[in-house]
Amino acid sequence: MARYTGPKTKISRIFGEPILGNGKWLNKNSNPPGQHGAARKRKSLGEYALQLREKQKAKRIYGVLEAQFANYFEKADRIPGVTGENLLRLLEMRLDNVVYRLGYGRSRTEARQVVRHNHILVNGKKVNIPSYQVKIGDVIEIKEKSKGLQRFKDITDTTASRIIPEWLEADIDNLKGKVVALPERDQIDIDIQETLIVELYSK
């Protein structure tokens, strides 16, 4: 599946925050990339630009491309409830994001790699599709042969202090987790104004 493979620090500088979780991010006051980055930073954005920027930020955070993101929005719009919250919920319920939330990846990019490299079981069955949608009751775990790898010891040492969201249940010692509820908006700790995305697609 196609995915973004370009420079991560550049993307963070565009949005003014470390949205890809990369360690090279300096601070929120860094200028946007390019020769005239500082000048661009001072310009105010119009309504459409703000809406487009918010969509681009969400795409970058969750690592999805344009067509896939549009499909998520269409599905979110069909589900009863608030469209913007439905959209974020669908993105949060991606398998790679759940693996990240459980602490099996230091970033969503690394979590996606963990899934693609066949380290993940869902309800006891191997799943290597990062976009796989988990459901309430699903058990996600690192497969037994992979649990002893130094890779996961290093990862979990780094993510040990990460707060597991309330909609997930984690068995840290056994590298296993369970989806116990759908994520509520106040449990999704990303700085996204989803109403702007809804407005963009409603034009």
pTM of structure: 0.81
Res 40: pLDDT: 57
Question: 8-90+189-201 with 94-181: one CATH topology?
Answer: no
Fold of 94-181: 3.10.290
The pLDDT, as a whole number, for residue 144 is 96
What's residue 194's pLDDT?
A: 97
Say how many C-beta atoms besides its own lie within 10 A of residue 38's C-beta: 11
CB contact at 8 A, 103 and 155: yes
Q: What residues of the chain score a pLDDT lower than 50?
A: 1, 25-26
pLDDT for position 44: 77
Handedness of CA 136, 162, 85, 185 (dihedral sign): positive
**How much is the pLDDT for 25?**
46
Contact 188, 153 (CB under 8 A): no
Q: Where are the domains of the chain?
A: 8-90+189-201, 94-181
**What's the CATH number of domain 8-90+189-201, 1.10.1740.10, 3.40.50.300, 1.10.1050.10, 3.30.470.10?**
1.10.1050.10
List the 168-171 sheet strands across, edge first. Answer: 125-126, 120-122, 139-142, 176-179, 168-171
pLDDT at 1: 44
